[in-house]
């Protein structure tokens, strides 16, 4: 998410598509196969502007099955519930593209980002679809700037694979072949594809912790580094890496939208408060000027020259008399002139402040209307998200207990299969 700190950051997210339903849902979204969407920021009139860097030849599942039949990938030894699909989302904050010209710049940026995706995935043949969305409106920026601003980003659906060597078994009749490579297959494997990598020191050697175990870098951190370094190397030197330690990739769509609306609400609330403070300051300044004007009017009441223009008052100083019988000394004339000029200036200042006050009151009214609208949207969204958040909170203990039991069984199985001397060698950061 954007930090509103003026820094443009690259963001890369990896999402596991665990079930056929997940795959179908992502396909509907990415390929814009639905007639309508719950996401109100999607603008159907702009869908034709979406750019496919690799268009699917069929639905994602059928493409996977065809690749398996053709021998491009192998599911040998894969468990029935294994994760076979993944989705990469490459992103930079909307302001970055807006400041660089918008759509055409975004197309070039994500054309280069697609090349990064090919490297990260391990080959274009393992990518099912890669599409840049140009039809999702950034609501907050659009409202702030008074024009439509769109959030450009890239979806890449892929199959996680690794190369695996199949060795001749000990039962091979040819003793010379036993233990040698029989064949190399491209195995579908999410866990091996995204294994954590060791943190290296300046010499290129793995860094160790106090217990002598390797310090590992999480796969998400590796993905962020790879994407950022690739884009920097091809010329995008005005972006920074996404923040380390971020947990934003774990947010659900609903949670993300609730958080975004909350931030927008806070921003509008702050603007309203500023406008109200400006209004109050204007009222105070107006009151002070009003008092000054009243005092000045009392001082100049006897002179009755407040209605004269400045030019007329300046000319009055050249006369020796005021009226037929009253004579003014030069000092008295100067005093009268000063009072009259000051009175006229005060009248002008007072008029200006009244106009400023009226403008401030109008601005506050507008911001209050915006605040009420945003608050209403936020409450609706919060109401929609609350059942999911409540369910997660209620079920957390049961989920953690279930996961702990699974992990315990897995650990016992692994310890039985793994020699004791290899246990506990690595520790993830």
pLDDT confidence of residue 108: 96
pTM tops 0.75, yes or no: no
Q: How far apart are CA 355 and CA 368, in angstroms?
A: 20
> Residue 358 in contact with residue 324, Cβ under 8 Å?
no
Q: What angle do CA 90, 93, 99 make, to 5 degrees?
A: 120
Q: What is the CATH number of domain 9-245?
A: 3.30.930.30
Contact 166, 182 (CB under 8 A): yes
Cβ atoms of 132 and 152 closer than 8 Å: yes
**Type and span of the H or E element at 15:** strand 9-17
| Nearest Cα residue to 189 out of 90, 89, 87, 76 | 76
Phi and psi based region of residue 235 (left: phi greater than 0; alpha: psi -120 to 50; beta: remaining): left
Instruction: Measure the CA–CA gap between 241 and 247, rounded to whole angstroms.
Output: 15
What per-residue confidence (pLDDT) applies to 184?
Answer: 79
Pair of tokens at residue 317: 């100083």
Tens-place pLDDT, residues 199-228: 777 777 777 777 777 776 566 788 888 899
Closest CA to 88 of 294, 293, 227: 227
Pairing of strands 9-17, 240-241: parallel
pLDDT (tens digit, 9 = 90+) per residue, 226-270? 899 999 999 999 888 876 544 443 334 444 455 555 666 666 666
- Give the CA angle between residues 129, 131, 135 to the nearest 5°: 145
CA distances to 83, 101, 176 from 180, rounded to whole Å, are: 29, 57, 8
DSSP state of 420: G
The per-residue pLDDT for 371 is 76
User: Could you tell me the residue ranges of all domains in the chain?
Assistant: 9-245, 251-429
**Strand boundaries in 203-329, DSSP class E:** 214-217, 240-241, 321-322, 326-327
Of residues 185, 56, 175, the one with CA closest to residue 127: 56
- Are residues 207 and 201 in contact, defined by beta-carbon separation less than 8 angstroms? yes
Question: Cα–Cα distance between 423 and 420 in angstroms, integer?
Answer: 5
- Token digits for 279? 């209004």
Question: Cβ(153)–Cβ(89) under 8 Å?
Answer: yes
Q: Alpha-carbon distance 318 to 334, whole Å? A: 10
Which positions ≥6 away from 346 have C-beta within 8 Å?
289, 292, 293, 296
Cα angle: 61, vertex 18, 231; to 5 degrees: 85
Residues of the chain with pLDDT below 50 are: 1-2, 245-256, 302-303, 305-307, 319-321, 420-429
Query: What pLDDT sits at residue 80?
Result: 86
What pLDDT is stored for residue 258 in this prediction?
54
Tens of pLDDT, residues 368-380:
777 777 777 777 7
Sequence-distant (6+) residues with CB within 8 A of 340 are 300, 303, 305, 306, 308, 313
Distances (CA, A) of 131 to 46, 93, 174, 364: 14, 18, 50, 43
d(CA 264, CA 139): 10
Backbone angles phi, psi at 284, to 5 degrees: -60, -45
Q: What DSSP letter does each residue of 127-141 carry, written as one string?
A: EEEEEEE--BB-HHH
Give which of 120, 144, 310 is closest to 220, Cα–Cα: 120
């Amino acid at each position: 998410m954007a930090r509103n700190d003026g820094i443009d950051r690259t963001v890369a997210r990896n999402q596991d598509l665990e079930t056929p339903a997940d795959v179908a849902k992502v396909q509907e979204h990415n390929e814009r196969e639905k007639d309508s969407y719950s996401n109100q920021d999607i603008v159907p009139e702009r869908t034709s502007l979406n750019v496919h860097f690799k268009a699917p030849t069929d639905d994602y599942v059928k493409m996977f099955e065809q690749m398996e039949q053709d021998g491009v990938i192998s599911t040998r030894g894969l468990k029935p519930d294994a994760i076979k699909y993944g989705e990469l989302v490459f992103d930079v904050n909307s302001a970055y593209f807006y400041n660089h010209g918008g759509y055409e710049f975004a197309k070039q940026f994500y054309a280069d980002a697609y090349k990064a995706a090919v490297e990260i995935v391990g080959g274009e043949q393992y990518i099912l679809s890669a599409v840049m969305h140009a039809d999702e409106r950034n609501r907050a920026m659009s409202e702030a700037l008074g024009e439509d601003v769109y959030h450009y980003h890239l979806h890449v659906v892929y199959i996680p694979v690794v190369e695996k060597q199949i060795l001749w078994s000990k039962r091979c009749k040819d003793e010379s072949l036993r233990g040698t490579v029989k064949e190399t297959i491209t195995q579908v494997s999410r866990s091996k594809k995204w294994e954590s990598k060791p943190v290296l020191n300046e010499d290129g050697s793995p860094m160790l912790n106090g217990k002598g175990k390797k310090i590992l870098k999480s796969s998400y951190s590796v993905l962020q580094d790879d994407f950022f370094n690739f884009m920097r190397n091809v010329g995008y030197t005005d972006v920074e890496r996404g923040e380390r330690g971020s947990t934003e990739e774990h947010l659900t769509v609903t949670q993300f939208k609730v958080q975004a609306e909350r931030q927008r609400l806070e921003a509008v609330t702050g603007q309203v408060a500023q406008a109200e403070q400006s209004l109050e300051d204007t009222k105070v300044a107006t009151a002070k000027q009003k008092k000054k004007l009243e005092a000045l009017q009392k001082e100049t009441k006897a002179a009755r020259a407040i209605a004269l223009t400045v030019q007329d008052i300046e000319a009055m100083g050249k006369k020796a008399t005021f009226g037929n019988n009253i004579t003014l000394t030069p000092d008295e004339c100067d005093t009268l002139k000063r009072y009259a000029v000051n009175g006229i200036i005060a009248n002008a200042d007072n008029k200006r402040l009244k106009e400023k006050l009226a403008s401030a009151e109008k601005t506050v009214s507008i911001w209050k209307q915006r605040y009420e609208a945003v608050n209403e949207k936020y409450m609706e969204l919060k109401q929609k998200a609350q059942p999911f958040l409540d369910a997660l909170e209620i079920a957390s203990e049961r989920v953690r207990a279930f996961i702990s039991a699974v992990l315990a069984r897995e650990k016992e199985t692994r310890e039985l299969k793994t020699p004791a001397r290899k246990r506990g060698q690595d520790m993830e950061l």
